[in-house]
Amino acid sequence: MLKAVILIGGPQKGTRFRPLSFEVPKPLFPVAGVPMIQHHIEACAQVSGMQEILLIGFYQPDEPLIRFLESAQQEFHLPIRYLQEFAPLGTGGGLYHFRDQILAGGPEAFFVLNADVCSDFPLGAMLAAHRRQPRPFLLLGTTANRTQSLNYGCIVENPQTHEVLHYVEKPSTFVSDIINCGIYLFSPEALKPLRDVFQRNQQERQLEDTNGLWPGAGTIRLEQDVFSALAGQGQIYVHLTDGIWSQIKSAGSALYASRLYLSQYQVTHPERLTRPASGGPRIRGNVYIHPTAKVAPTAVLGPNVSIGEGVTVGEGVRLRETIVLHGATLQEHTCVLHSIVGWGSTVGRWARVEGTPNDPNPNDPRAHMDSESLFKDGKLLPAITILGCRVRIPAEVLILNSIVLPHKELSRSFTNQIIL
């Protein structure tokens, strides 16, 4: 028997995802046509012996989240529950706080997946590696070049046994080209070190405060409090993958993740990709179009285009490297490149909306990483263009490398601006 836990964070996170996270919790943002965490759930549901999937986070269980959970349970025929933290507890605190729910039924092991990663999720290979060499912690790792490795948790392994000998979260100097993917397989014994951290946090706080237990004792950082502390003690191992992987911290990285997932659909979900057809739009590369969208036959779409529910795409529209969200309208002969068009937004005739590619590829030394600031010397750095919810762009206007907050009606062109 197996379980899976998906760490979805909370509204205090995902600030780099704004203004898109104003309208929907970041884990439910559509990437390649489906909510971000649906990719995780699909992968977990395919693992033989999976009995339950738990989501842990600090979001309020509002209508979109409840509706998504109900739909996912029906589609995947698995119990999928949301466990809300009483406070943000870090990457490990929620696991310890809900340990009884995780261990209920006596699972052999449980997967732990961060919601803000894009991957082909080689969970079956991880499970096989764990069964060959059972240990409390198995981490999924991939390679990065020396420059980009500094943006991630770095793993030094024994190349013969794959034991993690040393772990450093975002080091200041080069440590290793193996980085942490944020996807794990834990045995039940893995919760004991989390208990030790919790108890140590309590004791340290009680020395300073005699009034009682410190609420912050429940905050546990897996990377710093557990992995760094236990590395080299025979408890943590790494499974290396050469499959697709990236983080999804910002809107720009969501567009990159959409490209990776659309490419993966060639193998995993070919039915989700739109094929060229007589009388239909011109399709170039991998494109997803929701069945309810209306797309004119003279439109040219792709590569890497995702069109959401109820979208209208007019005659002569050109889309490339773009996500168009629910209910948006792109009028005749608009051109949208390297951008995200928000829910219910309208782009007028002959308007042009364009951004600069932002691919957080861990093997590209020139990539602009999500951890970097949006600004430099007081100026907005070039990045993808984002139109928030219900933005109106008039005809024959250019919007370049800009972020437009929700409910704005523009009257002129903008370049490298945040439009409040």
Residue 258 lies in a domain: no
How far is it, in rounded angstroms, from Cα 322 to Cα 73? 30
Residue 181 lies in a domain: yes
Please tell me whether residues 216 and 326 are part of one structural domain.
no
Domain that holds residue 65: 2-247
Residue 358 lies in a domain: yes
Residue 269 lies in a domain: no
164 exposure class (CB count in 10 Å sphere: 0-12, 13-18, 19+): buried
At 301, list the tokens: 């779409």
Please tell me whether residues 220 and 310 are part of one structural domain.
no
Please tell me whether residues 386 and 282 are part of one structural domain.
yes
Please tell me whether residues 407 and 370 are part of one structural domain.
yes
Q: How far apart are the first and last CA of the chain?
A: 51
How far is it, in rounded angstroms, from Cα 42 to Cα 28? 14
CATH code of residue 367:
2.160.10.10
For residue 209, what pLDDT is reported? 55
Looking at 212, 247, 282, the residue that finishes a domain is: 247
Please tell me whether residues 197 and 295 are part of one structural domain.
no
Residue 50 lies in a domain: yes
Confirm if 94 and 83 have CB atoms less than 8 A apart: yes
Please tell me whether residues 283 and 376 are part of one structural domain.
yes
Please tell me whether residues 94 and 153 are part of one structural domain.
yes
For residue 207, what pLDDT is reported? 55
Strand partners, 400: 354, 415
Question: Residue 307: CA atoms inside 13 Å, Cβ hemisphere, count?
Answer: 33
Strands (E) located in 85-149:
109-114, 117-119, 137-143
How far is it, in rounded angstroms, from Cα 2 to Cα 111? 8
Residue 281 lies in a domain: yes
Looking at 247, 264, 294, the residue that finishes a domain is: 247
Residue identified by tokens 């193998």 is 267
Q: How many domains does the chain have?
A: 2
Please tell me whether residues 72 and 172 are part of one structural domain.
yes
pLDDT tens, residue order, the chain (420 aa): 999 999 999 886 556 677 888 888 899 999 999 999 999 999 999 999 999 999 999 998 889 999 999 999 999 999 999 999 998 899 999 999 999 999 999 999 999 999 999 999 999 999 999 999 999 999 999 999 998 899 999 999 999 999 999 999 999 999 999 999 999 999 999 999 999 999 888 887 665 554 544 446 678 999 999 999 999 999 999 999 999 999 998 888 999 999 999 999 999 999 999 999 998 999 999 999 999 999 999 999 999 999 999 999 999 999 999 999 999 999 999 999 999 999 999 999 999 999 988 777 777 766 665 544 556 666 666 788 999 999 999 999 999 989 898 999 998 998 888 887
How far is it, in rounded angstroms, from Cα 191 to Cα 136? 9
The torsion of the CA quartet 99, 106, 8, 264, rounded to 10 degrees, works out to 160
Please tell me whether residues 288 and 357 are part of one structural domain.
yes
Please tell me whether residues 379 and 341 are part of one structural domain.
yes
Please tell me whether residues 395 and 280 are part of one structural domain.
yes
For residue 213, what pLDDT is reported? 47
Confirm if 368 and 383 have CB atoms less than 8 A apart: yes
Contacts of 71 (CB under 8 A, 6+ apart): none
Residue identified by tokens 């997932």 is 261
CATH code of residue 50:
3.90.550.10
Burial track 33-60 (b if 16+ CB lie within 10 A, e otherwise): bbbbbbbbbbbbbeeeebebbbbbbbbe
Confirm if 121 and 40 have CB atoms less than 8 A apart: yes
Please tell me whether residues 383 and 336 are part of one structural domain.
yes
Helices then strands, each counted (H, E), the chain: 8, 32
Residue 154 lies in a domain: yes
Residue 373 lies in a domain: yes
